[in-house]
Each structure stands twice: as structure tokens, then as C-alpha cells.
Structure 1
Amino acid sequence: MEPGLPVHHSRKYCLSVGLVLLVVSVLIPTLTSKADTTDAAASLLSLVRVDVSGPITDIPLPIHSDLVDGQGIPYVLAIASAEQLQRCGCAYTVLDTAPAGTRYLLAASRDPRERREAGTVANVLYDDGFRIIVRSAPDLTAALSRLGLSPRPLSPVPLPFASPPAPARAAPGIAPNPRIQAMLDKVTEKSLSDSISGLSGLTEVVVGGEAYTITTRNTASGVPIEKATQYVYEQLNALGLTASYHSWSSTAYAGRNVIGELPGVSKPSEVILLVAHLDSINDRTDDPTDPAPGADDDGSGCAALLMAATILKDYRFERTIRFVFTTGEENGLLGSAVYAKKLKDEGQNVLDVVNLDMVAYSTQASPIQNLHTRIPQNPGYQADLAIATLFVEVVNTYGLSESLVPVILKESNDQGDQYSFWENDFPSIMVIEDDNNFNPNYHCKSNMDDLQYLNMAYEAAHTKASLGTVAHLAGLVNNTPTPAGSYLLLLQDQ
């Protein structure tokens, strides 16, 4: 009490102060609670589906994937705040609402039973008739793979959709090139068969000067995948190419890609990629060291790359050609995702990517081959279409149409390494066998994915068409020049 202050005044003073403190003590928690609630709401983001009718770039939301569902309807997945959704002015379906930073997995399977079984290991947020969406969790990728699904992470950051510059126009068709025809004539079924035999463990290979049998190429297998990558590295090095490893890691896996480079002579900074995934998987087992021969998936693509490298090394091209053998593809496109981002971050001028994934199984009289591009609503579609159109022209020009019937599918297929390059805005296609005549031994579901079940004439035709496409894209030196940049055979009505 202050000196000289009457006693009755001091009691009123104390009562007043006490009343104020009581009110404040009641209000502050209430105000804090409201503020916390507001902050929590602001930190929540919704994963939404938006069907696509016009250009993707017209959708004013952060887009993390563009896809086609099981009914053939194109759509995008966006992650946005409540405020962004209110402002967007577009129709959307909320699939999940969660704190910012929540990660998601997409897992695809043609078999609805496998998609239903995913509910035994995760809460399925959505099933589009081809793929499911779940929240990511430790070991969930492996669990979904064991159920027969093909999982991949949803990009945690919005995708870039930079509109490419208006392409130059080229006259339809390409003229047959005798030197490229000579390259194609060097492709033999025997060489491809021998290569697949070694990669799938049917015969021994030499690694580090010693005989070794590659019984699996599972990314998590340890020594086997280390030997497989070393084998490919040594093969590329023996061809005189610049061979290198590209190490990568994720939360659950780590591995290394193998790169072989044939430098361009006049435009070395312009790069063409020929890609296949080296890893394999066996859905029947939880043990990554158990046999997973992967003869078709994707020993066939890797054999085609090794054959192409063997032939193309004897020629010179304007542009640099890289032969890229990825790992971690079966675990969510992991190796290609890190490599593609590296290329983007470094500003490398990758003009075209051709991804070969399962190119040796067909029981059809006229074997169909699918060429996957992004959906037409994606601004990168025309660049993909240019590669696919050239591929078709190579088939027709070099007499491969009796062995191969290419069909262009415009559906942003996310089940191959080309999707990693699309996520970084690089023009890409996936070359794969017909979805309607799909290998029943895929991931060892019916039988082991062995060489005995493959169609080597089909594999040889795939290899020739891919080799010819890359040769035209890269620009053979001392010959009729190809158009500047990637092959730009674009028709207004496509």
C-alpha cells in the first residue's frame, strides 16, 4: 500500500485490479484458442481432383500431377488452401485435407482386387479406377509393391508448366538414310537374346573380371544390384563411352543410376536421352534377394540400350546421346526422379527423352507398340508428340511396320521413368508393349519373367525403331541435317 493512501481506497484498488486480472485470465485463453484454431485452419491444405477440359495452365491452382483415370477422363491433382480453392472458380473434388507438408503416394494396378487389398495396409483416400491415392508412411511403398501395385510419390512441389516456344514446322515424313539403315541392320535377335540372358540370370556375366550370375536386380538387394550396375558400367566403358554412376537416395531406398555418354561434335550441349530401368522386382516375395529375373521388365529395355550404344558409338552426331540405366523405378521412379531434377537444376538442355520399358512381350500377329505422351491439355504435349511422330515415321520409313504397329496414347501415363522427366518439363515418351496384350509374368505374377516367354523379333523391331529415332534426333554428322533442336514434325490437326 502506498504511503498516505486511505485504507478504504486501497481495498477498492485491490478489488479493481483483481477484477481486471480475472477478466484477462478468462479472455486470454479464449483469444489464444481462437488464434490457434485460425492458424491451424490456415496450415491445412486440401488434395483435390480437378477434371481437365481446357489447357492445364488455365487451372489457377498448384498442380502436382496430371493423369487420366480408369475411365479415360483427364484430370489433375492439386494441393491448395481453402482460400485458393474459394478463388479458383473451378469445380473440384476434395480427396483429403491435411496439414501442409503431408506426402502422398499414388499406386496403380489394372486389377481392382489389388487396389482393394491396398486397404489392408493403408487408408485409401481415392480410387480413380486405375490408381489409388494414400498418405505416405514408412515402408508403405514396399507394402503396396508386395500387393502388386506400382507406387510412386506425388510430387511435393507444384509442377512447372512452361509453355515451349512455337515450334518450327517440318514437312511430314523423313527420307530413308542409308547410314541409319546400316545401323538398324546391325541389330540381331541373337545379340539381344544374349544380353537379356545375362541380365536376367539365365547365363553368367563377367563383373570385375569374375563370373557372376545376376539372379535379381532389386534395388534393395545389396550385392546383386551392385553387381548389375557395375556390369552395365563396365559394358559402357568397354565401348569407349564416358561411363559414370549417379547416386541417389530417398527416405526408404538408395541406389545408383548408370550413365553412358557419346558426346556430340557440333552441338554437345544439346542432349538426347535413351532410358531404361535396370532394377527388377518379384511381387511374390518380401525378400529383395529372392530371384527376380526381370527379362521383359526391364531387361528388354536395357538390352536395347546396350545394343544401341554398341552400334551408335561408331558414328558421330551433332548432339550428345546419353544412355541412362535407372534404378529404383519399381519403388516409385526414384532414380529417374533424382536424375531428372538434377538435369533441371543444372539447366541442362535435354531436348528429347525416349524411355524403353518392357519391349519384348507380344503374342499378337501384328504386334502393337504403345507410345505414351502427356495429355493434349499439357503445354508439353506437342513436344512429346513430335518424338512419337518421328518414331512412327522411322517404323514406316525403315520397313519395320510388319513387325511393329505403333499407337500413340495421349494419357500422361505415370508408370514409367518418362514421368520423372515430364515432371521436370522435358519432352519425353514411353515406349512399351500393348496394354491389351500385357505380359502376364509382369513382376513374376504368373511365372518368372524369363527369356523363354519373350518375342525376340518384336524386341529387335523395338530396338531398331528406338535406335533410328535417336539417330535422327541426334543429327548424324556428314549427312542431310535434321531440323534444329528436337525433331519437330507437328501437324495442326494432331
Structure 2
Amino acid sequence: MRSTRVRAVLLLLPLLVASPALHAGSPPVLARLAAGDVAPGLAVHARVAGDGGSEVALVVATREALAASGARHVVLDVDARGVPYALVSTRPGGTAPLELPAGRLLATVGRHAVARVSAADVARLHEAGLVVRRLPASPPGGRAPCGPLLRAPAAYDPVVAGLVASVTPEAASGLVARLSGEVPVTVGGSPYTLLTRYTYSGTPSERSVDWAVEQLTAYGLPAGTFAWWVAMGPSRNAVAEKRGAARPEEVVLVTAHLDDLPSMGRAPGADDDASGSAAVLLAAKALSTRVFERTVRFVLFTGEEQGSYGSFYYAAALADASEDVVAVLNLDMVAWDSDGDGAALLHTRTPSDPGYASDRGIADLFVNVASWYGLPLAPSVAADGLPYSDHGSFWEHGYPAVLAIEDDLEDFNPWYHSSGDLLANIHLPYFTAFVKAAVGTAAHLAVPLSPQGFHTLAPCRLVDTRAAPGPLAGPALPAGASRTFALASSPCGVPPSARAVALNVTAAAPPAAGYLTLHAGGSLLPSTSTLNFAAGRTRANNAILPVSADGTASLAVANAAPGPVDVLLDVTGWFE
């Protein structure tokens, strides 16, 4: 069979069209339109940059619907039912050829080609150095955050400056050395060398996730995993949370992918994407020391190199739970700068996309952070709509998201997806500056609470369920139960106006393993724990937690253990 050869980056878009929503008896077609010609009601599955700064939309609709819209269009495929389409885009310096049987290559769009590519090709294409991206059955959603990105103009902040300054070259390179297998990690109390982080490598992948969770826990953050499963097998993401003290329902995500390639042999993945993973870990460590209005989640995905599976299922879970994700900062390959120009790119949706303004707000903030804090970085916005990393999973659900990446257009890393992607080949000053910018951007998105709003208290016991029954005392929390404590009624000095409290939570000699989750009274139960414990072992953790705004300063404690747990809460301060 004759083949077509294309040197390309591949974005797989399986548009599994729900035909009942279309005209009966008329199969949907895949059509190309100028983005400005898209009429209301047409299902746009992708928007990409075309020639000369133009925008092109790929639409799935019946011929009748296209005709009724009056939009100028070109039909690329006469029957789009259940067809996995692909955008194929050349990458400067790319050498990986894509072989397609004749008839699969449908059209060219600027620097891109549109093609039919079967799902069975995905692993092979990744191994060949191509990037695969799938879109869901329906067009991306139009979800908007409940509030603006920032309620007041951001500016230089001494609190954020301290967080930015906390990032050192030694810390950044040390994490990459561990993730890329140059230095053993300690996981489960034993040393282990991560020679690969390939999602389906078995033990190495599992150890990398476990180590990431242990690191996040060591920073004082409640951490755990998010499990997902596809036909190739199961995997897990590492997730930690810094709960917001004023607007905890508004969530900022700082993300990267933990997995790497190649699938066989040594796979250090220092730049792709140990660099981004290290940036997420350092952001978690820095932000764990401060109090923010919004909740920040730090997520390391697996399965990115197989089609962004980890982020696909995580983003879908957030959308199903109607979580208010106000911003996603995705960090993928942030350590290569061979020409020393400091260039960094912030990929957003295209200007015609309804979600562009939200993406642009995140990107502009990143650019400003680099300037405000004097970082040797030259970030710029690429409004090209290319969803070729985990941020694309959030675009699918209408969430604001940006891909922060090194200059992948003009200065692409030649060690990409090879055993040569080593710590020795990254550019440490550039990498350090990129991490600093990511930390500063995440902090501004989360909105720091001013230290002037914190009131120190002499350590005081708010709650002790070992005592005789009472509003702030016994009995122990039964298995699976939740209890709310009105902290303003205690003698410790927490006023009714408090927005959050700084405290130590203790599980006293629990009879069974489990965890406690603390949250503001009357609010929804968050998805991450506050304190994990083993059977028979007293365990404590420091936390800063929001309280109810109804004048009682209430705090709810939920017990997820299979047995009763005695809980102690000791307060050290409160925020107004």
C-alpha cells in the first residue's frame, strides 16, 4: 500500500460524533472554515492558526446545517461518523516521519495537515517522536469560572517575591537528578533509582508516583493519588492540595506530566518532563508556607505520552463535580535554551475561541511576573490553540488553561524522547528562572493573604474528643461520620469574624488506619485529606483552614476511617 510521509507533530482528534443530534439520514461531514465564518450552532472541534495569522476552524456538521449557516466552507471528509481525525503539524528541527496509507491525509491548514489516524497508531506515533492528542465526542465546552481571574490588578508583592527567591538552582537540579535516575530517590523508606518513568513500565512508574506523593506530604500538604484506567492498563496521578482560606471553592491547578519516553531501556526524561514535575514540586513547597484566598492543587499526571490520559480523566472528574477551576498552569519542558535568549512560550486558545480571554489572562500574568521579579526570561504568548499537552484536557471542558513551555518552535530540544534527555543537557539558569516565574504566577493566581491579617494566639486546645461529651469535646468521631465545631464559642480567642485558622490536628491512637478531612462548616467535603494515619499510631499535622463565615467560625471534621477516632485541635492563630 502506498504511504504518505509527513514530518510532523500529531494531535489525534477522535471525533466520535453523536449522530442523533444531527439531521437524520444525512451523515455529518468534516469541514474547514475560516474561524470568523463560524455561525452559531456549528460544532467546532478544533481551532488552529492558519497562514498569515488567520484562524481555521474544523467543524463537524451535516451538509444541510452548513448550507443553512451560510458559512463558506470546504468539505474535507464526506462521512465523519466515528472517525478519529488528526492534526499533523511540522515542528522546526523535527525528524520523525509519519507514514499514512493513501487517502488518510485529507488537507493542509497552514503548517498543519488534517488526517485520519487510527487509535492503534497512538503508541507507535509517540515512539516515533510525535505528540498525540485526542478530543472527546462533543466539542469543547464553554464553561466559565464563577468569578474573574483576579478581582484586583496584580502587582509586585513582597510576599510573592519571597516565594520566588526561595527557588534555588540546587533545589531545581536536585529534583531533576532524582526524577531522571541520576540520583536514587527514597520511597517507602528504601532507595530506588528511577531509570524510567514510562507509564506502563510497572514498578518504576509506580515508584515515581509514590515518591511524588511522599514529597508533597513532606511539604505539609495533604496528598494522595487519582486513579484512572484504559485498555492498556491502570495508572495514577499524584495530587496535593493547599486549601484556600477565603475562597476555597475557587481552584488553581499547577500541573505537569510525570511520565516519559522512550518505552524501552533508559528513559531519563530530564527536560520532558522531569523539569515541569520539579517545577510543580517546588511550587508546592513554596506555596505550602503561605496562606492564600484560593485553593491550589498540585497535580502530576501519568499517561501524557500515550494521549494525555491522566489529565483527560482528571479534568472530566472535575467537570462532573462542577468544580470552579479558575486557572490551569501546565508546565511541560521548561529547561532547554540552547541559544541563550531566554525565550518561553505560553500557548493559549486562538483569539476567536470563547475561552481565549481567560487563557490570555493567565499568560499575561506569567509575562508580568517575569518582569516584576527581574527574571532573565523572555516569555511571549502563542495564541495558536494547539492542545498538545495536558492543558488540552482542561480546554475540552471549558476551563482556562495555558501551556508554559520552552521555545518549542524555534529552539526545540534535539534530545526529545531519547536516552540523551539528561540533566547534563538542560540549561540550569534558564530552568531556574522558569521555575521562579511559575511559582510567582501560581502565587498571584492563588491571591496571597497579607501577613498583616494574621493574629497570633498562644497555643490553645480548641477540641478534644477524649473529654466528656460537649460541643468542643467528646465523644470520638464514629466511622464515616462528620462533626462540626463552632470555634468562636471556645475560650481560645477565635473571633466570629475569623476567615481562617492556623492549627494542629491530631488523631489520637486510632484503632484503624484512615484519614481526616477538615473544611469550613457548611461547605462541601473537599477531595483531599488533611491528616492520614495508621492504626494505633498518634499522628499530627499543621494546617491552615477556612472556617464558616456565618459568625460561628465553624470547622467540620470528617472521619474516613472504619473505626472511631479521637480528634484534638490546637489553634495557634487566626486570619481576618
- TM, length-normalised to structure 2: 0.70
* Bigger mean CA offset, 192-201 vs 75-84: 75-84
Matched-pair contact (CA < 8 Å) for 1:109–1:150:
no
* Bigger mean CA offset, 99-108 vs 152-161: 99-108
The 3-state SS of whatever aligns with 2:100 is helix
Residue correspondence of structure 1 range 252-331 to structure 2 within 5 A: 252=232, 254-282=234-262, 288-331=263-306
Q: Would you say how many aligned residue pairs link Structure 1 and Structure 2?
A: 431
For 1:292 and 1:43, the matched residues in 2 are separated by 48
Partner of 2:341: 366
Rate the CA distance shift 1:199–1:176 in 2: closer, same or farther, 3 A: same
Residue-by-residue CA offset, 1:380-410 (whole Å, 9 max, x unaligned): 111111111111111111111xx10111111
The Cα of 1:266 is off from its aligned counterpart by 1.6
Rate the CA distance shift 1:415–1:142 in 2: closer, same or farther, 3 A: same
For 1:255 and 1:192, the matched residues in 2 are separated by 26
The Cα of 1:128 is off from its aligned counterpart by 3.4
Residue correspondence of structure 1 range 345-360 to structure 2 within 5 A: 345-360=320-335
Q: Residue type of the partner of 1:422?
A: W
Matched-pair contact (CA < 8 Å) for 2:343–2:380:
yes
Partner of 1:231: 211
Partner of 1:470: 442
Match of 1:438 among 412, 420, 443: 412
Q: Residue type of the partner of 1:240?
A: G
For 2:80 and 2:24, the matched residues in 1 are separated by 9
Residue correspondence of structure 1 range 325-474 to structure 2 within 5 A: 325-400=300-375, 403-434=376-407, 435-444=409-418, 448-474=420-446
State the superposition RMSD in angstroms.
2.7
Q: Does 1:153 align with 2:134?
A: yes
Q: Residue type of the partner of 1:155?
A: P
The Cα of 1:86 is off from its aligned counterpart by 2.4
Residue-by-residue CA offset, 1:60-105 (whole Å, 9 max, x unaligned): 3111122224765321222112322222211222222336333334
For 2:236 and 2:147, the matched residues in 1 are separated by 37
Matched-pair contact (CA < 8 Å) for 1:261–1:320:
yes
| Structure 2, gaps ≥5 residues long | 1-21, 454-576
Partner of 2:109: 128
Matched-pair contact (CA < 8 Å) for 1:207–1:227:
yes
Residue-by-residue CA offset, 1:405-435 (whole Å, 9 max, x unaligned): 1111111122121111111111111111112
Which protein has the bigger helix share? 1
Residue correspondence of structure 1 range 37-56 to structure 2 within 5 A: 42=25, 44-53=27-36
Matched-pair contact (CA < 8 Å) for 2:49–2:110:
no
For 1:363 and 1:245, the matched residues in 2 are separated by 36
The Cα of 1:122 is off from its aligned counterpart by 8.9
Q: Percent identity?
A: 37
For 2:96 and 2:265, the matched residues in 1 are separated by 24
Matched-pair contact (CA < 8 Å) for 2:32–2:76:
yes
Q: Does 1:193 align with 2:166?
A: no
For 1:443 and 1:176, the matched residues in 2 are separated by 38
Partner of 1:81: 62
* Bigger mean CA offset, 113-122 vs 272-281: 113-122
Q: Residue type of the partner of 1:408?
A: V
The Cα of 1:120 is off from its aligned counterpart by 5.5
The 3-state SS of whatever aligns with 2:142 is coil
Matched-pair contact (CA < 8 Å) for 1:367–1:458:
yes
For 1:138 and 1:457, the matched residues in 2 are separated by 40
Partner of 1:17: none
Matched-pair contact (CA < 8 Å) for 2:97–2:128:
no
Matched-pair contact (CA < 8 Å) for 1:115–1:131:
no
For 1:452 and 1:385, the matched residues in 2 are separated by 34
The Cα of 1:304 is off from its aligned counterpart by 0.8
The Cα of 1:211 is off from its aligned counterpart by 1.2
Larger Rg: 1
Residue-by-residue CA offset, 1:103-155 (whole Å, 9 max, x unaligned): 33445442698675321599333443544444353521012223322112233
Residue correspondence of structure 1 range 50-65 to structure 2 within 5 A: 50-53=33-36, 58-65=39-46
Residue-by-residue CA offset, 1:143-202 (whole Å, 9 max, x unaligned): 222332211223321222357789699786x43222221111111001110100110111
Q: Residue type of the partner of 2:31?
A: V
Partner of 1:219: 199
For 2:103 and 2:271, the matched residues in 1 are separated by 30
* Bigger mean CA offset, 74-83 vs 323-332: 74-83
The 3-state SS of whatever aligns with 1:183 is helix
Matched-pair contact (CA < 8 Å) for 1:375–1:411:
yes
| Structure 1, gaps ≥5 residues long | 1-38, 283-287, 482-494
Which protein has the bigger strand share? 2
For 1:385 and 1:195, the matched residues in 2 are separated by 30
For 1:464 and 1:425, the matched residues in 2 are separated by 28
Residue-by-residue CA offset, 1:332-384 (whole Å, 9 max, x unaligned): 22211111111111100111111111111102333111111111111111111
The Cα of 1:319 is off from its aligned counterpart by 0.8
For 1:194 and 1:167, the matched residues in 2 are separated by 37
Q: Residue type of the partner of 1:438?
A: F
- TM, length-normalised to structure 1: 0.81
Q: Residue type of the partner of 1:203?
A: V
Q: Residue type of the partner of 2:346?
A: L
For 1:168 and 1:249, the matched residues in 2 are separated by 33
Q: Residue type of the partner of 2:235?
A: G
Matched-pair contact (CA < 8 Å) for 2:293–2:449:
yes
For 1:302 and 1:79, the matched residues in 2 are separated by 36
Matched-pair contact (CA < 8 Å) for 1:271–1:352:
yes
* Bigger mean CA offset, 149-158 vs 303-312: 149-158
* Bigger mean CA offset, 316-325 vs 416-425: 416-425
Partner of 1:21: none
Matched-pair contact (CA < 8 Å) for 2:302–2:309:
yes
Matched-pair contact (CA < 8 Å) for 1:48–1:93:
yes
The Cα of 1:250 is off from its aligned counterpart by 3.2
Q: Residue type of the partner of 1:150?
A: V
The 3-state SS of whatever aligns with 1:103 is strand
For 1:168 and 1:480, the matched residues in 2 are separated by 24
Q: Residue type of the partner of 2:413?
A: N
Match of 1:101 among 59, 82, 104: 82
